[in-house]
């Protein structure tokens, strides 16, 4: 008996295919198209091959903001991941306090990004902001608009304030999923609380931490709104990250060709780093 294949079922995939085509593939191909041409106006365009890529890869502006971006994302991960785990560990496990904590933790996540920027912009001002004013009264010379170090600290603290909750909530749910038997067994084995964390909690949190690291890396690597509202990329270019450089190039100077090449390189970097994180974390201690 021969098997009958009814290939008409493939038509059912069509809506998804169309959706992906219009939402991802076509815009992406448009960018690819721009990145290999020099466009003067709607009818005048010249094919330039890899010229824009070459130019972008040697552009010191890109180098500087890429370096700043990596430092920023690195700091974000180094602060938010351990802090998030620590917060999750100290949160109460049940009762009214647990619900209250969850709500308080969720609030920063619900605030629109430009509002977060505005909040901190005002908060840090020395004349009307609580933080800036208090610091000035305490004799600290703090000014995020003119001092590079202060600007960096403010942007970082703002991101930590905004996003540590996400890591904490993910870890909290991960911790709740560990059966009691593990803790009981650890007590019977006389494990110290550090050993409980190191050998039970941390290994069990691995999969949520993978998600947390990936999300925080991607989001922080693409950060735009908050520093744009808070510092506008300044002082000078001190807090101008990749996406802001890109926006200046594409929208400010209307250099569509280089900007398209920039976007693709940007995209590939995110893809590559995420892949590295993923591989490193899933292949660690597999024997």
Partner 1 sequence: MAEIRLQNLAHSYSPQPRQDADYAIREMDHVWEQGGAYALLGPSGCGKSTLLNIISGLLSPSEGKVLFDTREVNQLTPEQRNIAQVFQFPVVYDTMTVYENLAFPLRNQGVAQARITSKVHEIAEVLDLHPLLQRKARNLTADEKQKVSMGRGLVRDDVSAILFDEPLTVIDPHLKWKLRRKLKQIHEQFNITMIYVTHDQLEASTFADKIAVMHGGQIVQFGTPRELFERPEHTFVGFFVGSPGMNLIEVRAEEGGVGFGTLHLPLTKGLAAKLPELADKRLQIGIRPEFVQVTDEPGTGGMATEVVRVEDLGTYKILTLRLQGHLLKARLPEDQPVPRGEAWVGFPSQWLMLYADDRLVEERR
- 95 near partner 1, judged by CB under 8 A: no
CB 172, min distance to partner 1, A: 20
Alpha helices in the chain (DSSP H): 14-20, 26-35, 51-57, 60-90, 96-110, 113-123, 130-137, 148-176, 180-188, 193-196, 202-221, 225-230, 242-247, 256-283
In angstroms, the first-to-last Cα distance of the chain is: 45
Quick one: tokens of 68? 């700043």
Q: Which is nearer to partner 1, 5 or 190 (CB)?
A: 190
Q: Which of 12, 13, 107, 181 binds partner 1 (CB under 8 A)?
A: 181
CB 208, min distance to partner 1, A: 15
CB 76, min distance to partner 1, A: 26
Q: Which of 6, 127, 137, 285 binds partner 1 (CB under 8 A)?
A: 285
Chain positions 188 to 227 lying near partner 1, rule: CB under 8 A, are 188-192, 195, 199-200, 203-204
- 182 near partner 1, judged by CB under 8 A: yes
* 3-class state of residue 46 by DSSP: strand
CB 213, min distance to partner 1, A: 18
Query: In this structure, is the dihedral angle defined by the CA atoms of residues 54, 57, 60 and 61, taken in order, positive or negative?
Result: positive
Q: Which of 179, 194, 254, 283 binds partner 1 (CB under 8 A)?
A: 179
> Stretches 52-60, 83-91, 176-184, 217-225: which one binds partner 1 (CB under 8 A)?
176-184
| Measured distance CA(162)–CA(111) in Å, rounded | 8
Q: Distance of alpha carbon 123 from its chain centroid, rounded?
A: 23
**The CA-based dihedral angle spanning residues 93, 94, 95, 99, taken in that order and rounded to the nearest 10 degrees:** 70
- 128 near partner 1, judged by CB under 8 A: no
Q: Which is nearer to partner 1, 128 or 181 (CB)?
A: 181
CB 212, min distance to partner 1, A: 19
- 286 near partner 1, judged by CB under 8 A: yes
On whether the CB atoms of residues 120 and 156 are closer than 8 A, the answer is no
- 60 near partner 1, judged by CB under 8 A: no
DSSP 8-state assignment for residue 147: -
On whether the CB atoms of residues 178 and 200 are closer than 8 A, the answer is yes
- 287 near partner 1, judged by CB under 8 A: yes
| Measured distance CA(13)–CA(19) in Å, rounded | 10
| Measured distance CA(62)–CA(50) in Å, rounded | 17
Q: Which is nearer to partner 1, 44 or 192 (CB)?
A: 192
CB 55, min distance to partner 1, A: 48
Query: Which residues pair with residue 47 across a beta bridge?
Result: 37
CA angle 160, 166, 170 (to 5 degrees): 135
CB 200, min distance to partner 1, A: 7
CB 9, min distance to partner 1, A: 37
- For partner 1 (CB under 8 A), the number of binding residues is 19
- 177 near partner 1, judged by CB under 8 A: no
**For binding to partner 1 (CB under 8 A), which residues are involved?**
179, 181-182, 184-185, 187-192, 195, 199-200, 203-204, 285-287
């Amino acid at each position: 008996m021969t098997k009958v294949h009814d290939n008409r079922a493939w038509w059912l995939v069509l809506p998804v295919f169309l959706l992906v085509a219009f939402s991802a593939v076509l815009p992406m191909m448009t960018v690819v198209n721009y990145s290999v041409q020099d466009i003067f106006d709607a009818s005048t365009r010249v094919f330039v091959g890899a010229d824009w890529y070459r130019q972008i890869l040697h552009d010191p502006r890109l180098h500087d903001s890429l370096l700043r971006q990596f430092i920023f994302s690195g700091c974000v991960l180094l602060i938010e991941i351990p802090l998030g785990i620590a917060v999750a560990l100290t949160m109460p496990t049940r009762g009214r306090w647990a619900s209250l904590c969850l709500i308080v933790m969720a609030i920063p996540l619900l605030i629109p990004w430009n509002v977060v920027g505005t909040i901190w912009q005002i908060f840090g001002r020395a004349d009307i902001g609580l933080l800036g004013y208090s610091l000035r009264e305490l004799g600290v010379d703090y000014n995020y608009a003119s001092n590079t170090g202060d600007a960096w600290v403010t942007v970082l603290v703002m991101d930590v304030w905004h996003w540590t909750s996400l890591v904490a909530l993910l870890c909290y749910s991960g911790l709740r999923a560990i059966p009691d038997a593990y803790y009981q067994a650890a007590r019977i084995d006389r494990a110290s609380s550090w050993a409980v964390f190191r050998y039970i909690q941390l290994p069990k949190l691995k999969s949520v931490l993978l998600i947390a690291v990936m999300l925080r890396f991607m989001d922080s690597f693409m950060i735009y709104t908050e520093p744009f509202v808070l510092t506008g990329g300044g002082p000078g270019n001190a807090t101008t990250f990749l996406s802001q450089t890109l926006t200046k190039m594409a929208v400010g100077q209307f250099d569509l060709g280089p900007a398209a090449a920039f976007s693709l390189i940007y995209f590939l970097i995110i893809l590559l780093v995420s892949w590295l994180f993923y591989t490193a974390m899933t292949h660690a201690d597999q024997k």
